[in-house]
Amino acid sequence: MPRPSLLSSLPPIHLGRPWPLGATPTQRGVNFSVVAPLATRVELLLFGHGEAVEPQRVVELDLHHRTSDHWHVEVEGVGLGCCYGYRVFGPLQPGGHGFNPSKVLLDPCARAIAGWQGYQRGAAVGAAPNTGSCLKGAVTDRDPFDFTRAPRPRHSWQKTLIYELHVGGFSQGEGSPVPPERQGTLLGLIDTIPYLQELGITTVELLPVMAFCPHDAPPGRQNYWGYSPLSWMAPHPGYLVGDDPLTARQQVRALVTACHQAGIEVILDVVYNHTTEGNQAGPTLSWRGFCDPLYYQQNAKGDYQDVSGCGNTIAANRPLVRRLILESLRCWATELGIDGFRFDLGIALSRGEELAPLDHPPLFEEMEADPELVDLKLISEPWDCGGLYKLADFPARRVATWNGRFRDDVRRFWNGDDKTCWAMGQRLAGSPDLYTKSPARPGQCITFLTAHDGFTLADLVSFSRKHNLANGEDNRDGDNHNNSGHWGVQGPSSDPAITTLRNRQQRNLLSSLLLAPGVPMLLMGDEVRRSQGGNNNSWCQNNPLGWMHWQADQDDAALRTFLQRLITLRSHLAGLLNPELAHPEQGASQGAEQPDLWRQWHGVELNKPDWASWSHTLAWTLNHRSQGPLLWCGMNAYGKAIHFDLPTCPSGWLRAIDTGLPAGEDLPAEPEPWHPPSAPLESRSLMLLVARPLLEGATQKAGGGNRTRIISLEG
């Protein structure tokens, strides 16, 4: 419903002040401030409510209201809920684009947005006015988040386990535990927290929740993922319960508070490398209208330079632009309680003029030095669409990066590809070949097998090629190189042999992820074999194809149990999987020179790793100087069963994982002793043996004596 008019009279105006940016309540009213360096005149439009088609008042800002690059004014008699927009006047820029005063612009610092019911994206293109169908900023509070009531969980990188999910899709689908009126919303995620806790994750990473344009998609579809930002400050209205823009921030705070109180961190996937305004032919909605050549990378002719694949690239190297990005980060971190950020195509933010890569990008330098952001988890994609890829040499010390090589090499090994053993060994050792000859330090490397962009885990072992016809682009979209396999037939199968092998491969992949050093990330629904029908680019699929799978069958539930126990096992072995321990790959040195802990590679025979291009078997141990072997792991990606020789463990082996066994036995709640001198591994299976003391619980009285209890991995 439209809000009642907030402008019953014409209250006086004052010069105002340039800071803070956006609309800030004052004792007398609201202070408005925007950046428009090249503008000659600015108009502030005040609307009676969000769906109003004409402003009730136009406040003209002349040079008296300008301080350097900022235009500002204080208006008395208005307050929270006031809806507003801007018209900005100035000369056209090279290329014929730039200022367009016929368009009402959304404040880049607006923390809430109104006017969605009448909004028409197409009206922001061309020379005709869009006043009757524009979006408006809505004045909101700027209160800080209550960290006293809900302090940050502050999980160390060593203990962090990330779960990437889509806000709109995770709480939807048949069997969802969320009431229908809250499904697909931020508040609906609160109802899923017990599920996340039971699974054992520490951190959720939410796909974009900043306001985006759902209509920025082919006809008959919608932008579901949200990688098309319309605002860097305001929550997306489609994820709210109700249509009151003033409740948006409260709903974000409610979700973050509930997560913090459950011990779960919240990380946002943020898109600062481009916006929804596209290239020169796109709509003038916000940034472009205030200063087109400031915000977007352009050549001397005014042509857009694009390394985002979306038509434009943000010039994050420029002071005014990076200040806006930093303001956005502070808004979400200090006002809404967010614990960290994952930067989409983050390396693009390190580009300078003419898209030249910068060794010391100012945005990341200022981000790392900002005292309000110092305790956040920062993660980035290390690549962009212009070919820039920096992993160990990512130009920011505190920013972790997605290790795409881990994803590709682990997939290729278990897919049975040639020339994969050596690369697999490097990934299991913390990728020293990628991180300057030593394993990645804690908080530097995010390891993953699947993400929103690509196949799900179930599809990774069910399809050898993508099936994206539902996206309406004739299967041209999405990556063609997936390192996947179907193991018998393309897509779903009722053949027990095929389904058994697929289930085993999923366990092999998950075990490889959680037994490797680094910070592991899981994809929503992989634990219950969620499928997208072979679609590896479901960005426009707001339907069951892109939603969570809540109706688990027996095999789905078995995989979830396996992962729960695997996560618990990892937590008990966290010290050994700590990438801070370099695990030198040697054991022959004697006396004082011998390290306390080292990694040793094996093949089918002890001390004889086979790195040949045709090899598909690998084994390794972690050895202690005085206690002997602590872990032995064998991996058989070959098409036949193979016996592996085992080292002697003085304290006795416990078999923790054997993916060649039936569900439930492959990772039992209580690991069982293993006495044979060798380990028979089924084809395409993994076995992990653990020294008994590592999994022993407290000593208990039994029959007049003492016995040591093996811990339970039930989570």
pLDDT tens by residue, 626-662:
899 999 999 999 999 999 999 999 999 999 999 999 9
Secondary structure (3-state) at 235: strand
Domains 13-138 and 157-572 fall in the same CATH topology: no
Q: Rounded CA gap, 444 and 555, in Å?
A: 35
Are 307 and 346 in contact by the 8 Å Cβ rule? The answer is no
Decide if pLDDT at 687 tops 80: yes
Nearest to 401 by CA among 449, 316, 342: 342
166 band by pLDDT with thresholds 50, 70 and 90: very high
Identity (one letter) of the amino acid at 709? R
> What homologous superfamily is domain 13-138 in, according to CATH?
Immunoglobulins (2.60.40.10)
How far is the CA of 118 from the CAs of 7, 49, 133, in angstroms? 21, 12, 5
Residue predicted with more confidence, 327 or 3: 327
Beta bridge partners of 706: 701
Highest mean pLDDT among 94-103, 165-174, 470-479: 165-174
Tell me what pLDDT residue 578 has. 66
Q: Which candidate in 216, 265, 306, 344 is catalytic?
A: 344
Q: Which candidate in 74, 216, 335, 381 is catalytic?
A: 381
Tell me what pLDDT residue 94 has. 66
Instruction: State the burial class of residue 98 (Cβ atoms within 10 Å of its Cβ: 0-12, 13-18, 19+).
Output: buried
Average pLDDT over residues 106-130: 95
699's enclosing H/E stretch is: strand 696-702
pLDDT tens by residue, 565-592:
999 999 999 888 765 555 677 644 444 4
* Residue 366 annotated as catalytic: no
Average pLDDT over residues 319-348: 98
Tell me what pLDDT residue 2 has. 47
**DSSP letter, residue 5:** P
* Residue 381 annotated as catalytic: yes
Can you name the CATH fold of 591-710?
Immunoglobulin-like (2.60.40)
Average pLDDT over residues 169-178: 96
556's enclosing H/E stretch is: helix 554-572
pTM given for the model: 0.95
Angle of helix 404-414 relative to helix 496-514, nearest 10 degrees?
A: 140
Are 278 and 171 in contact by the 8 Å Cβ rule? The answer is no
Tell me what pLDDT residue 91 has. 86
Are 656 and 562 in contact by the 8 Å Cβ rule? The answer is no
Which of 96-100, 302-306, 414-418 shows the lowest mean pLDDT across its residues?
A: 96-100
Beta bridge partners of 210: 235
pLDDT tens by residue, 280-331:
889 999 999 999 999 999 998 889 999 999 999 999 999 999 999 999 999 9
Tell me what pLDDT residue 576 has. 84
685: tokens are 């299976």
Tell me what pLDDT residue 589 has. 46
Residue predicted with more confidence, 590 or 172: 172
How many percent of the chain have pLDDT more than 70?
94
* Domain assignments of the chain as residue spans, ordered by start: 13-138, 157-572, 591-710
Mean of per-residue pLDDT scores for the chain: 93
Are 317 and 352 in contact by the 8 Å Cβ rule? The answer is yes
Can you name the CATH fold of 157-572?
TIM Barrel (3.20.20)
Decide if pLDDT at 601 tops 50: yes
Q: Rounded CA gap, 203 and 689, in Å?
A: 28
Decide if pLDDT at 594 tops 70: no
Strands (E), 212-362: 265-270, 340-343
659: tokens are 């993916």
Tell me what pLDDT residue 1 has. 43
H helices within 331-403, ranges in order?
Answer: 362-369
Average pLDDT over residues 30-34: 98
502 band by pLDDT with thresholds 50, 70 and 90: very high
